Amino acid sequence: MPKPGLLTVCSVGLACGLVAAAARTGVVSAQGPAPSATPAVSFNREILPILANNCFACHGPDEKKRETKFHFDTQEGMFLKKGVIEPGNAEESLLIEKITEPDPKERMPPPESGHALTEKQIGLLRRWIDEGAKWDTHWAYVPPTRPELPSVSQTSWVRNPIDQFILARLEREGLKPSSEADKEMLLRRLAYDLTGLPPTPAETDAFLADSSPDAYEKQVDRLLNSPHYGERMAMPWLDAARYADTHGYHIDSLRSMYPWRDWVISAFNRNMPFNEFAIEQLAGDLLPNSTREQKIASGFNRNHMINFEGGAIADEYQVEYVVDRVEATSSAFMGLTMGCARCHSHKFDPITHKEFYQFFAFFNTVPEFGLDGRTGNAVPVLPLPNPEQQARLDQLNAAIDAHEAALADDIVAPLQREWEKSVSEKPAEPDVTELAAHYELDGNFSDISGRYRHGRTISGEPTFGAGQVGRAVSFDGDTEVSFGNVGRFDHGDAFSLAVWLKGQGNLPISVFQKIDVDGRHGFAWMLDDITLVGIQRWAARLSVRIAGDSPDQAIEIRTRERLRFGDWHHVALTYDGSGKAAGLGLYLNGVRVDTDVARDALSGTCATDAPLRVGAKALGRPFVGQLDDLRLYNRALTPQQVEDLAIHHPMRVILSGVIGKPSKDEAERIRTYFLTYAAPEAVQTNYRQLKALQSQKDDLVKQIPTTMIMAEMKKPRDTFILARGDYRNQTDKVQPGVPAMLPPLPKDAPLNRLTLAKWLVDPAHPLTARVAVNRYWQNYFGYGLVKTQEDFGVQGEPPSHPELLDWLATEFVRTGWDVRAMQRLIVTSATYRQTSRTTSALREKDPENRLLARGPRVRLQAELIRDTALAASGLLNDAIGGPSVMPYQPKGIWEELAFGDGFSGQSYDQSHGPDLYRRGMYTLWKRTAPPASMATFDAPDREKCAARRAQTNTPLQALVLLNDPTYVEASRALAQRTLLDVPKDANARIAYAFRLAAARKPTKPEIKVLRTLLDGRLKAYRLDRAGAMKLLSVGESALNPKLEIAELAAFTTVASVILNLDETITKQ
Amino acid sequence: MNCKHEIDLHLTRRQFFGRSAQGIGIGALATLLGPDLSAFAASLNEARDPKTGGLVGVPHFAPKAKRVIFLHQSGGPSQLETFDYKPMLAKFQGTQIPDSVRQGQRVAQTMGQSQLLVAQSTFKFAQHGQAGTWVSDLLPHTAKIVDDITVIRTMNTEAINHDPAITFIQTGFQQPGRPSMGAWLSYGLGSENQNLPAFVVLLSQAHAINTDQPLFSRLWASGFLPSSYQGVRFRAGSAPVLFLDDPPGVSKTTRRQMLDALGKLDELSHAAYGDPEIETRIRQYEMAYRMQTSVPDLMDLSKEPDSVFEMYGPESRKPGTYAANCLLARRLAERNVRFIQLYHRGWDQHKDLPRDLALQCRGTDQPTAALITDLKQRGLLDDTLVVWGGEFGRTVFSQGKLTDANYGRDHHPRNFCMWVAGGGMKRGAVIGETDDYSYNIVSDPVTVFDLQATILHVLGIDHKKLTYRFQGRDFRLTDVHGEVMEKMLA
């Protein structure tokens, strides 16, 4: 008797010994045991998988790979040539001849393909031909029709139509459903499935006490209306939507998509119908007068990874983003592996290479950059001010508009022209009294002070470019310039140095050095104490040292303020000759600034004949950046004189025209100068106010969160078929479209995402409703009715209960895609309400419980294991939504992999206070280093759409639950809570703690085991109070001083065992 | 249909366990099998090797190597200053690289640089060993072991940036989502160690000064294979495996008592629910307990004699350094760990190459050579494959300003150098030739897929046959490419 499905297909082709072994040990196929009657061979379930697996590589949908015209993926292709398949007559069919050919050179499939058919498969093919060789479209591509409810004998068990389908199958198999789970088990299962949190003892008590016939349904409705319902429903969707908090590629810095995540939670809590849920996520931005919420929803297709690696090619990554959208959309909504058709037509499913790019075209017109995201979210983004922020923003914008209106060109320009005329004749020179040297640095190193002490280049090639007063000189780290013996002074001499300065890079640099050979006498300027002030922007403090015998015999001051690298600053040093640090003054942009005194003990001479140098490598890193208009004076400049140099002089020079017609940048500087210093008082006031308003607005905008959304380009990008999927190989241009095997798009509808989204949720679509209900089913029972949630195609697993799947899909559409009603339907079925206790006979017959003759027993997913410990211990902060948080994590996990300075998300900034105790789903998800404890429990990295998770069972999981501070602290908190809530009776305490975690009362033997542990540990910790204190010090939550240390520590070990129970981390 | 995927996703689950069977997760960690599990193993006779947990039928033929130590030098070490000696560059120094050589090759960071001037190596080369292999004077220790290694001068890759290039060399694909080589091998071959993971990852930080490239946990992830095949990172310090240490204040006795209580309660649960998964969990807790001994024992270098530290160099005494990790790699190899993956950061010399490359070489040359010598002395080199190299090479032209003493080099995918040693590979050979600019391959190209296929080959694996079905398709490490490089084989 043939066995359908898994065994048949898998026992060929691959080294699939596992399955063979499974067969021998009585393990049955995915669809469960074979039915006892012998129905006709099913083309869909038994024949198509054989053909797909063994023949499609050469006789399949990929026309380029076909070696003959003859192919098996369509009816037409299959019967193209007479005699290949003779319906009703296997012996006359060439197909059978070919697959049974004794000569391996002639046999199909050819041995070198690695494929071979088993006797069983050949037998099936024979029978199928003898039975008439009926061809059928793959089941999943035929829209579901509502099946009749099957008749069953044990009608009293049936609570709703689900049960009728399940029971009909069980009865066919000669099996009986299990009894209903006891109330404690049932409520715990339900609470996890609908909210992800264990029921409280009070909730369990209320349910136990409620003897009304609809007691269970009341619990269902209570939990369906819990705000945590939306969180629980969102969790699997976040996997499918590859939601994460970082960009994923290379530097992997932070993004902010939590508004999208919160939209998903809220959509479930508002019971948004699934069709709207799909439309808003795929095309919320294109809905007429789309709301802010709808735009946020469209972020579904911005959750993909984004790159900005230096040197990466934008076009390449822009294509990757769109491919990811195609993969995520087709997988999450349709269970299709469309990504397989990126490089060539799909090998198994009827999706051509061209159709892939037609689908791609829908997602290819987003106004985005291939490389983006350096500073956070990548465009297009939506700012999300809260109402107060919006009000403040409106207010500021109005005020700014008003001020700008008052400063409009027609008002200000005439005034400015008049002023310019008055000052433009000849620039008044700044005070030149005692000017020792003046280097304009406009193209050479000439001194124009009258003393003509010209500088010279010692090494490198200095270049000259736009500066602050005319041109400026650039130093690249290799350039060294000597200005000769200028600026020679001793500690008794007054002195000033003024210069325009722009530093560059991210390292400390030396600016000026006038130091003798042994490095002891003279003076030096440094830019050091570097800090990061923005994305890839650094700033440094300027320090100036005058030394008699460096480093100790010196005066040295340092600016408190930091100078941003990449910006021009006018810097002036004045010295009064007092020999004291107080005699030094530093000015930034014409204003004297606060300084710290680093040294104040000058003695000995500081005079030296060494040259004044810039860019020398002798002391510190050489200068990298620009200098302009360097002046040295043999006296201390007055504040007014410094201001004149920094502010007024450059303007006069520009206006005089001596350096040519003002550039755009210079024109702007003139206007700013005029408004700040020279305009009539009223205009100046207005301008000052405008500046203040703009700065307030900048600060506000920085605080307003954003989220990435979809949008359309004004001029849409063309889409081309890419040969072999390579962005460089554009071939034919295509228009947006959908695969021909699926229903067509409505005629005359615009070819955009909105049309696509509506098409997807059209009741005629064969896949969408099935895939959605199958995802729900998987959440409850561990497996979907179609086990391969990610693949409903030809290579996917056929449904275990095809009629039930179709009934649920049509019911979903019939109820207007009512998500909550669908959950209610499933959890109120008798099928769901069965006990998960099982017998060995049943387990042997149906080890995976695909026939559902018992209730589900599945390990909790990673996030819920955390939530359980926090909820049981009372530490849980059950706030919903908001920015992601960073709970405890061993030090260095991020840092050891990270790029380092200059970007967000490189070091782990652990949260404190209530943020330490948020639900697992709010843990910040860094793709290149996913949350360590959760990854151990099979949480995915969220790089790509994931339709379901693995369920492994490893020793690393034991280490997490026993030793991760999260769980150690939760154990202590659970112990603390228990000792405070329950009076002295140890057994009662054990029962209380046990119940908080497992939501049932422990049995006597269970209490006994824990009591023995408690008593033993109590003795031990009374002798080891220091050890007890150490254990209790884990975690940041407060320790209750009222509790006895040894007792609390001993009970903490009991609580830890309770949190480690298999039952605690399992839904059963 | 995704049968393999199915079975492995739920690998440890109920389908394998009858009432009396004792369960265990099969995978990288699953090989922490106790000897008492023979009954269970027997039930899997045809599927998984009872000793290793590997697939039955794998290896496909007699392996030459039993394990791999992969010394990944992250960032892209320059071939021009290490193994690809180009005397003609002295003549071309400072000249624009001819278009006929460049052939429109994509560049990474030098896009927009107006001149691409040829820069010769500032370091001298000499021939070493009986093989007469050219090695620069940056690598004096490696020069002494050239007769034990085979230098491949004609490695080439598709990717031009770090993220895709390193993802490619580790997983066979430039975009994320595929299993790493170590995961493939854990899946196929299982492990021969009962107390350690099959796939261990060690990481060390740069010796160079300039900014470092990041790494990603996806490089040792299991992709679509079950998570139990992913690499387990051993970190320097007191808890080499995450959460290995008991919490403070929990004595060994207390931990034992807790585990005893836990085991008893889980047994009760098993009696009530009959789920074999519960038994598996009990075993995993015991294995975790054993790891608390086996891992610190592995990491404890205190019993290594001084002569060993002298051989690996002074940094080998400092946990977490490349030198200490090389020594650790030998200890892991001794314990039969299947795939030992080292990453050393800091090889991305866009600028200040002479200084930073010298620092990198000084930090790694001695321990690398010591590892080979040490393995050889212990008779381990014959069945341990050691692989050295980065994700791409560097351009012959200077990035940024070229002077006689200083220059940088951009990423270069068309040819770069790696070397292999031991485990079935030739010794003292040099594979492939590049042109006078070290810009194009002249003979014997070796693609990343070829290297992967050859690594699998010496492990007894036909790279075309180690496949895994996911989303309806049979995936393999080498995708649809790769040829075993006979020239590399002994």
Per-residue b or e along B350-365, where b marks 16 or more CB atoms closer than 10 Å to that residue's CB: bbbbbebbbbbbebbb
Q: In this predicted model, which residue has the larger pLDDT, B244 or A950?
A: B244
- pLDDT for position B23: 32
Asked if B273 lies within 8 A of A941 by C-beta distance, the reply is no
Instruction: Read off the DSSP letter of residue A676.
Output: I
Report the amino acid identity of residue A1028: A
Q: What is the pLDDT of residues A10-40, one digit of tens each?
A: 222 233 233 333 333 333 334 444 444 567 8
Structure-block tokens of residue A846: 């149906």
| Contact by Cβ (8 Å): A606, A546 | yes
Q: What three-state secondary structure class fits B339?
A: strand
A 10 A CB-CB count for A128 gives: 22
Is residue B5 scored above 50 in pLDDT?
no
CA-atom Rg of chain A in angstroms = 38
CA dist A950 and A709 (Å) reads: 31
Average pLDDT, chain B: 88
- How far, in Å, are A162, A337, A946, B146 from residue B481 at the CA level? 48, 22, 26, 30
Query: Confidence class of residue A634 from pLDDT cuts 50, 70 and 90?
Result: very high
3-state helix, strand, coil in chain B (%, to 5): 35, 20, 45
- Nearest alpha-carbon partner for A571 in A595, A601, A536, A551: A595
Does residue A882 register a pLDDT over 50?
A: yes
Tokens read off for A134 = 């009926």
Residue B258's alpha-carbon distances to A872, A994, B265, B289, in angstroms, are: 19, 15, 11, 11
Q: Model confidence over A198-250: pLDDT tens digits?
A: 999 999 999 999 999 999 999 999 999 999 999 999 999 999 999 999 999 99
Residue A714, min C-alpha distance to chain B (Å): 29
What pLDDT shows up at residue B297?
Answer: 92
Sign of CA dihedral A773, A775, A779, A781: positive
Per-residue confidence band for A688, with pLDDT thresholds at 50, 70 and 90: very high
Residue A588 near residue A559 (C-beta atoms within 8 A):
yes
- Chain A residues in contact with B215 by the CB 8 A cut-off are 896-897, 928
Closest residue of B to A1053, CA-based? B258
B226: pLDDT strictly greater than 90: no
Q: Assess whether pLDDT exceeds 50 at residue A638.
A: yes
Across B303-325, average pLDDT: 96
Q: Give the mean model confidence (pLDDT) for residues B430-446.
A: 97
| Separation between Cα atoms, residue A428 and residue A419, nearest integer Å | 15
Phi (first) and psi of residue B108, to 5 degrees: -95, -75
Is 80 exceeded by the pLDDT of residue A900? no
- Structural contact between residues B180 and B222, judged by C-beta atoms closer than 8 angstroms: yes
Give chain B positions within 8 Å (CB) of A929: 216-217
How many angstroms away from the CA of A338 is the closest CA of chain B?
10
Q: CB–CB of B161 and A951 under 8 A? A: no
Query: Are the CB atoms for A1011 and A993 separated by under 8 Å?
Result: no
Instruction: For tokens 């004291």, name the residue.
Output: A580
Contact A796 B472 (CB under 8 A): yes
Residue B53 above 50 pLDDT?
Answer: yes
| pLDDT for A8 beyond 50 | no
Contact A21 B44 (CB under 8 A): yes
| Pick from A340, A836, A954: CB nearest B29 | A954
Mutant choice from A3, A18, A1024 vs B, greatest count of B C-beta within 10 A:
A18
Nearest to A17 among B46, B162, B406 (CB): B46
Q: What is the pLDDT of residue A847?
A: 85
Q: At residue A103, what are phi and psi to the nearest 5 degrees?
A: -75, 115
In this structure, how many other beta carbons lie within 10 angstroms of the beta carbon of residue A216? 20
pLDDT for the residue B43? 33
> What pLDDT sits at residue B41?
33
Choice among A19-23, A646-650, A851-855, B122-126 with the minimum mean pLDDT: A19-23
Q: Are the C-beta atoms of residues A1000 and A880 closer than 8 Å to each other?
A: no
pLDDT class of A106 with cuts at 50, 70, 90: confident
Q: Do A1010 and B261 touch (CB under 8 A)?
A: yes
A912 φ/ψ angles, rounded to the nearest 5 degrees: -135, 165
Mean pLDDT of A1032-1048: 95
Query: Has residue B35 got a pLDDT over 60?
Result: no
Residue B48 has pLDDT above 80, yes or no: no
Alpha-carbon distance A1061 to nearest alpha carbon in chain B (angstroms): 6
- Return the residue of A nearest to B10 by Cα: A951
CA-nearest residue to A854 within chain B is B273
Q: Classify each residue of B306-324 as buried b or exposed e, where b means 16 or more C-beta atoms within 10 Å of its C-beta.
A: eeebebbbebbeebbbbbb
Backbone angles phi, psi at A22, to 5 degrees: -60, -40
| Residue keyed to tokens 């050949």 | A122
Place of tokens 């705000």: A227
Give me the pLDDT at residue A1019, please: 97
**Which residue among A311, A793, A950 sits closest to B226, beta carbon to beta carbon?**
A950
Cα dihedral A270→A272→A278→A279 (10° resolution): -100
Question: Nearest CB to A1013: which of B258, B272, B465?
Answer: B258
Distance from CA of B376 to the nearest CA of A (A): 31
| A905 backbone φψ class: left, alpha, beta (φ>0; ψ -120 to 50) | left
Side-chain half-sphere CA neighbours of A482 within 13 A: 11
CA distances from B266 to A1000, A1054, B273, B435 (A): 15, 14, 10, 67
Using alpha carbons, select from A175, A131, A133 the residue that is nearest to residue A152: A175
Nearest by CB to B2, from A788, A843, A963: name it: A788
Measured between alpha carbons, how far is A502 from A567 in angstroms, rounded to an integer? 6
A128-186: per-residue pLDDT in tens?
999 888 888 899 999 999 999 999 999 999 999 999 999 999 999 999 999 999 999 99
Q: Which residues contact A137 (CB under 8 A, 6 or more apart)?
A: none
* Both structure tokens of A544: 């100036």
Confidence of residue B112 (pLDDT cuts 50, 70, 90): confident
ipTM: 0.84
pLDDT band of B104, cuts 50, 70, 90: confident
Are A843 and B274 inside 8 Å of each other by CB?
Answer: yes
pLDDT given for residue B193 in this prediction:
83
B47 contact residues in A (CB cutoff 8 A): 17-22
Distances (CA, A) of B23 to A836, A841, B12, B18, B290: 19, 18, 7, 9, 17
DSSP H helices in A846-964: 862-873, 932-936, 955-963
- All residues at 6 or more sequence positions from A714 whose CB lies less than 8 Å from its CB, including other chains: A367
* Separation CA A456–CA A615 (nearest Å): 12
CA gap A509, A528 in Å, rounded: 6
CA distance B313 to chain A (A): 23
Q: Which residues of A220-255 are buried (b: 16+ CB within 10 A; e: fewer)?
A: bebbbebebbbbbbbbbbbbbbbbbbbbbbbbbbbb
Q: Which of A481, A206, A215, A375 is nearest to A903 (CA)?
A: A375
Contacts of residue A250, Cβ cutoff 8 Å, sequence gap at least 6: A307, A308, A309, A312, A899, B161, B162, B163, B214
Rounded average pLDDT over A384-403: 97
Best residue in A956, A964, A1031, A1061 to probe B by mutation, most B CBs within 10 Å?
A956
Cis amide leading into A551 (omega within 30): yes
Q: Which residues of A touch B174 (CB under 8 A)?
A: none
Task: Measure in Å the smallest separation between the Cα of B266 and chain A Cα atoms.
Answer: 6
Q: Are A473 and A463 in contact (CB under 8 A)?
A: yes
> Smallest Cα–Cα separation from B259: which of A1056, A975, A1031?
A1056
Question: How many residues in chain A?
Answer: 1068
Most B CBs within 10 Å, among A316, A459, A781, A962, to test the B interface: A962
Q: Distance between CA atoms of B397 and B353, rounded to whole angstroms?
A: 12
Q: What pLDDT is stored for residue B474 in this prediction?
A: 86
Question: What is the pTM assigned to this prediction?
Answer: 0.87
Phi, psi of A584 (to 5 degrees): -95, 140
Per CB-CB distance under 8 Å, the chain B contacts of A795 are 1-2, 469, 471-473
**A463 pLDDT above the threshold of 60:** yes
Tell me the chain B residues in contact with residue A350 when contact means C-beta distances shorter than 8 Å: none
The closest of A445, A483, A478, A482 to A464, measured between CA atoms, is: A445
Taking CB atoms and an 8 Å cutoff, what residues of chain B touch A960? Answer: 242-243
Contact A928 B106 (CB under 8 A): no
Nearest C-alpha in A relative to B405: A478
A777-791, B370-384, B461-475: which range is least confident on average? B461-475
Given pLDDT bands bounded at 50, 70 and 90, which one contains residue A347?
confident
Report the pLDDT averaged over residues B224-244. Answer: 87
Inter-chain contacts counted by CB atoms under 8 A, chains A and B: 350
Q: Does the pLDDT at position A274 exceed 70?
A: yes
Tokens of B188: 């196929």
Please measure the distance between the N-terminal and C-terminal CA atoms of chain B and give it in whole angstroms: 40
Q: Check residues B25 and B9 and name the one with the higher pLDDT.
A: B9
What pLDDT is recorded for position A38?
66
Pick from B203, B214, B266: CB nearest A250? B214
Query: What is the mean predicted confidence (pLDDT) over A503-532?
Result: 89
Paired with B340 in beta bridges are B69, B200
Chain A residues in contact with B1 (beta carbon < 8 A): 5-6, 9-10, 49, 53, 788, 795-797
Determine the pLDDT at residue A370: 95
- Which tops the pLDDT comparison, A73 or B9? A73
Contact list, A314 vs chain B (CB under 8 Å): none
Mean confidence (pLDDT) of chain A: 91
CB contact (8 A) between residue A10 and residue B258:
no
Over residues A51-63, mean pLDDT: 82
Residue in chain B closest to A1027 (alpha carbons) equals: B249
Q: Is the pLDDT of residue B158 over 60?
A: yes
Nearest Cα neighbor of A193 from A832, A785, A801, A768 is: A832
Q: Which of A162-166, B3-7, B419-423, B459-463 has the lowest mean pLDDT?
A: B3-7
Question: Could you tell me the maximum CA-CA distance found in chain B, to the nearest angstrom?
Answer: 83
Which of A232, A353, A235, A250 shows the shortest CA–CA distance to A310?
A: A250
The whole-angstrom distance between B275's CA and the closest CA on chain A is 8
Residues of B in contact with A1017 (CB under 8 A): 254, 257
Burial A608-646 (b: 16+ CB within 10 A, else e): bebbbbbbbeeebebbbbbbbbbbbbbbbbeeebbbbbb
Give A149: exposed, middle or buried? Use CB within 10 Å, 0-12, 13-18, 19+.
Answer: middle
Return the pLDDT at A19.
30
Do B2 and B470 contact (CB within 8 A), yes or no? yes
Residues of A in contact with B183 (CB under 8 A): none
Best residue in B11, B219, B265 for a mutation probing chain A (most A CBs within 10 Å): B265
